[in-house]
Amino acid sequence: MGDVRAHYDGSAPTYHEQYDPELIWKNSEYPANFFRLQKVIEILRRAGSQSVYELGAGEASPIVRIHKELGIRVQASDLSPEMVRLGRENLAKNGMDPRWLSELDLNDKAAVQREHERVGTFDAVLALGVIPHVPDDDWFVDAMSSFLNPGGTLILQFRNSMFSMFTMNRLTKEFILDELLSPVPASFKDVVAADLDQRLAVDKPPIRRRDDGHGYDEILARFHNPLELAEVVKRHGFSDISYRWYNFHPTYPMLAGAIDPQEYREAQIALEADESWRGMFLCSAGMIIATKQ
């Protein structure tokens, strides 16, 4: 298993491109995080949040934009030393205090407690792209709660395992066997697996690797069932739980190449306004929004 810190150190120099509006049509990779941030800002605006703490802030592009658009107090942390270095430069460049971003290993429970004691509590707490890399969901949601004022807003992003039901590839097979059929006898699963091998593109998607062994599919990067994750959030004292979906797919991904790239991206962007149940299956990622009781 590759190292999460090393992965994000390696991606730090280009991380800001995910949030650059001028690259929405130019980059080959769909700018999912650009639309995610738009939704986060709207959630914070509707909640009337006056302060926010972000766990896993990258090189600070999200908190810079949140501060500029909403004028609220922001602080954040990240695991990657290189992200933190670039993030402090980003904050300073935008007239903000570099000390608003600190280095923090979210798997170090004592360090998280010290950070909480240092920065206090906020009206909202964000964790975008973090829980896939944390092995203990209960502990992590509890840690997020510690940064929140009563009545505060939790925004927790996750990789959506339900999307696998639409991908028609090896992820579909894994979801059916490992989650949907988890209580079923192994002999039954063997029959299903053999059948799925004939029906699905089980050689796709390709594994994302890097020469240093720290590609995204080589590190801990778990999917979450949104219904199960919502139950974790609920039992840690949260209510008013809802979902926001993003990174829509108008076809299953392996068919994207059969459609004009411009038209495909236009269809993806158009779907980002959809707040219906379809996002649970058409989106590879989502966010749980909840209120601390």
Tell if the pTM clears 0.75, that is, is over it. yes
Task: Give the pLDDT score at 47.
Answer: 98
- Annotated domain spans of the chain: 4-163+209-292, 170-203
Decide: residue 110, CB within 10 A, 0-12 exposed, 13-18 middle, 19+ buried: exposed
Q: How far apart are CA 23 and CA 34, in angstroms?
A: 10
Q: How far apart are CA 88 and CA 64, in angstroms?
A: 11
Closest CA relative to residue 16, chosen from 76, 61, 68, 82: 61
Higher pLDDT, 27 or 197: 197
Higher pLDDT, 2 or 112: 112
- The model's pLDDT over 156-179, given as tens digits with 9 standing for 90+, comes to 999 999 999 999 999 999 999 999
Closest CA relative to residue 152, chosen from 56, 43, 70: 43
Q: How far apart are CA 212 and CA 210, in angstroms?
A: 5
* H/E segment holding residue 262: helix 261-271
Fold of 4-163+209-292: Rossmann fold (3.40.50)
Q: Examine the pLDDT at 1 and tell me if it is beyond 50.
A: no
Q: What is the mean pLDDT of residues 198-215?
A: 79
Kindly indicate the confidence band of residue 46, based on its pLDDT and cuts at 50, 70 and 90: very high
Which of 25-29, 93-97, 193-197, 254-258 shows the lowest mean pLDDT across its residues?
A: 25-29
Mean pLDDT of the chain: 94
* CA angle, residues 23, 223, 208, in degrees to nearest 5: 55
